[in-house]
Structure 1
Amino acid sequence: MTPQVLTLIALPGGLSAAHVAQAREALRALGAEVGPTDWLAPDEAADLPFGNLAADQATAAARRALGEGARVDAIAQAAEGRRKRLLLADMDSTIITTETLDELAAHAGVKERVAEITRRAMNGEIDFRDALVERVAMLEGLPLSALERTWKAIRFTPGARELVATMRAHGAHCALISGGFTYFTSRVALTLGFHEHVANTLLDDGRALTGRVAEPILGREDKLATLKRLAVEHGLPLSATLAVGDGANDLDMLAAAGLGVAFHAKPIVAAAARARVDHADLRALLFAQGYRAREIRA
């Protein structure tokens, strides 16, 4: 069987030798041969090389052994080819901490109504395109100054800067993709150093939003198509790609990427993704690729 590696990741100070020992024994109980622990970052991330066990079995066993109370993430995968050459990242609730459309809606006095539709769309309960059109329609007449106020309130998810800077420094192409809006993706991409961004465009009359979004609307299928297009453009197999997101419209790209990570994701996404990060920050995506703390760029 191909050599595998189980990476255990927590927030700084959250990973102990006891956690690693629990995971090791869980793998051994299933007949795996487990190698020496390789600490990627003290008390934060460690690799356990193993063989004779499938990656999904190892991940499930480690999660059961650790339990939710440990607040430790576990990602198992093939040891070869861990470092990816292409990053495709969702923006809202992934690279940034909020949903920009919901925050725009707050300025229009309809945040609760819009946020409920957002929740249902990200959980896969309703069609993303229909949900986007309905939500944007509620913003008709909103002054363009609300866009700038929303941008100024944006906060980046911890680890986002390090993720992009480190992967760029090691030759990866980094792209930001969103079912949200270019007004925000352009600024986020410029600030964090993404090579490019892809998103929807809000329409306005020069003073206020018209309540419409430009066609074609970027949705779930387009995220997958963008992953495939960028892989071809950069001469990469999909196995050399990393995708990260949290909502139902990210599912197809997460499934197709060499490493698709559900990040603090909605239940439907967390349940479907092969890899997920529930507790750590975005530095977890670097540790999952085998980067050591000393290699991470600020």
Structure 2
Amino acid sequence: MPKELNGKDVLIKVSGPDHPGITSELMSIIKKTNNSLLDMGQSVTHGLLSLSFVINIANENTEQDHVLKDLLFAANNLNLTLDYKVVEPKAKSQKTEKFILNCVSVEPLSAAFVCDISTILSKHGINIKRIDKVSPNEFKSLEISTQVPIGMNWQEVKAELLKTSNGHQVDVAFLKDDIFRRSKRLIVFDMDSTLIQTEVIDELADACGVGDEIRKITEEAMNGEIDFDESLIKRVSKLKGLEASKMKDILDSLPLTPGVEDFIHTIKTLGYKVAVISGGFTFFANALKEKLGLDYAFANELEIVNGKLTGNVVGTIINAEQKALLVKLIAQQESISLEQVVAIGDGANDLPMLATAGLGIAFHAKEVVKKEAEQHMSHGPMTSILYFLGITDSSELL
């Protein structure tokens, strides 16, 4: 070994067909010497290995310590290519935080999308450390490990990511890579237009012949244009006289959101607690709780007298503030940290609930909600959220 390498840091890069035992073989050579292992990284793309590591060549190397020669010989026997070069000791860099950018698509990801995403990251000084394909058989999802400068303008980055997400129809989520990312324990759903693909009160309105009037008020409420309590009281008043038996007919035809049943089955199998907290009505929330095997259901109670709706709501209205409060109460009841809670909703009245949870996701939400929520998913089925939770292959659980 050249004496001029003594005391130097040497970067060694190994590439070629991947198979078990490569890292073990090469590290056994380092182990036998007095050379220090300073850094390493490894990835596999399409069956091809890229392994790199940095060693410090000890000053006291003896004649018998030919570490580079031994590494080259071993690499050749393993059908690998090995290169090396001297590198400068790593300088102190600016303070950063680790974040994971999850990208999930219904269709295969394009080079244009990857280009746009990486350009946004580069523009804001976000360094890509690693890229992994996490959908087992298709190129439809990526997990991008990044180093984010502390104090970065998150609002600007979020706006640019939202624009790119909508343009390519790829869902993205920027999640802090901490101990809570893969340790969620409670999932809380909104009901209308989240667990199910309709607004129950609109279905009740159609049955009562006041569909257009109520839909207009519902839209204003979901967009945050009018107070939720006021809108609910106003809408329910128009249902006065409706036969309560009509609710059973509506329940039987409620369309579940695509992927909901598989998503809930998967997270329940993994031990998550699941709740629905709705500004809708208990008759429907409780039925969904029973059907989907949920642990909790909270919603508004319609007053019924002599088999007909009176047009009144009984008890405390489940509005935006109550939703957030109930998230805290369930977490407390289950001894779960709020950082371990995921909340999923679509309307303006879900925003406090989304903000309370460690991970809040605006699911196929109104534009105003997507802009306010921490994360959003607008293109894939409910099962796509599994990738945000670090559950990358749930096929054996479904």
Q: Which TM bucket (shorter chain)?
A: over 0.9
Which of 178, 190, 193 matches 2:290? 190
Instruction: Provide the residue aligned with 1:229 in structure 2.
Output: 329
Report the equivalent of 1:72. 170
Q: How many residues in Structure 1 have an aligned counterpart in Structure 2?
A: 296
The answer to which of 216-225 and 157-166 deviates more is 157-166
Pick the structure with more helix per residue.
Answer: 1
* TM-score normalised to structure 1 length: 0.93
Determine the C-alpha separation between the residues in 2 that align with 1:145 and 1:101: 15
> Which whole-Å deviations, capped at 9, do the CAs of 1:13-57 have from their partners, x for residues lacking one?
243455234323431333222133222222332211100345936
Q: Does 1:283 align with 2:378?
A: no
- 1:48 correspondence with 2:148: no
> Cα gap change, 1:106/1:85 in structure 2, threshold over 3 Å: closer, same or farther?
same
Give 2:53's aligned residue. Answer: none
- State the distance in 1 between where 2:286 and 2:329 align: 20
Is the 8 Å Cα contact of residues 196 and 256 (structure 2) preserved in structure 1?
yes
1:6 matches 2:101? yes
Q: Greater shift after overlay, 102-111 or 55-64?
A: 55-64
* Displacement of 1:238: 1.2
Distance (whole Å) between structure 1 residues aligned to residue 114 and residue 191 of structure 2: 32
In 2: Cα distance, 1:95 partner to 1:162 partner: 12
Map of 1:220 onto structure 2? 320
Task: State the distance in 2 between where 1:214 and 1:143 align.
Answer: 17
**Gaps spanning 5+ residues in structure 1: where?**
none
Query: CA RMSD, aligned part only?
Result: 1.9
Cα distance change on mapping 1:67 and 1:134 into 2, 3 Å:
closer
Alignment of 1:1-298 (within 5 A): 1-11=96-106, 13-16=107-110, 18-41=112-135, 42-53=138-149, 56=154, 59-64=158-163, 66=164, 68-80=166-178, 81-83=180-182, 84-294=184-394, 297-298=397-398
Kept in 1: contact 2:348–2:369 (CA 8 A): yes
Quote the offset at 1:92 in angstroms: 0.1
**Higher mean C-alpha displacement, 27-36 vs 177-186:** 27-36
CA contact (8 A) 2:303 2:309 kept: yes
Letter of the structure 1 residue corresponding to residue 105 of structure 2: A
Percent of aligned pairs with the same residue? 34
Bigger CA drift: 172-181 or 198-207? Answer: 198-207
More strand by share: 2
In 2 relative to 1, CA 155–112 (structure 1 residues): closer, same or farther, beyond 3 Å? same
Is the 8 Å Cα contact of residues 130 and 146 (structure 2) preserved in structure 1? Answer: no
Q: CA 1:233/1:67 → structure 2, altered by over 3 Å: closer, same or farther?
A: closer
Report how far residue 276 of structure 1 moved: 0.9
Q: How far apart are the structure 1 equivalents of 2:396 and 2:349?
A: 29
Return the offset for 1:62.
3.8
CA distance in 1, matches of 2:254, 2:303: 21
What is the CA–CA distance in structure 1 between the aligned matches of 2:254 and 2:396, rounded to whole Å? 24
Q: What 5-or-longer segments of structure 2 have no aligned partner?
A: 1-95
SS of the aligned residue for 2:205 comes to helix
Asked whether the 8 Å contact 1:36–1:49 carries over to 2, the reply is: yes
Distance 2:186 2:99 in 1: 21
**161-170 or 87-96, larger mean C-alpha shift:** 161-170
Moved more, 247-256 or 18-27: 18-27
Question: Contact 1:59–1:75 (CA<8 Å) still a contact in 2?
Answer: no
Q: Could you say which structure has the greater relative contact order, defined with CA pairs below 8 angstroms and 6 or more residues apart?
A: 1
Deviations 1:193-230 (A, max 9, x none): 21110111111124211111111111111100011111
Contact 1:23 / 1:61 at 8 angstroms: preserved in 2?
Answer: no
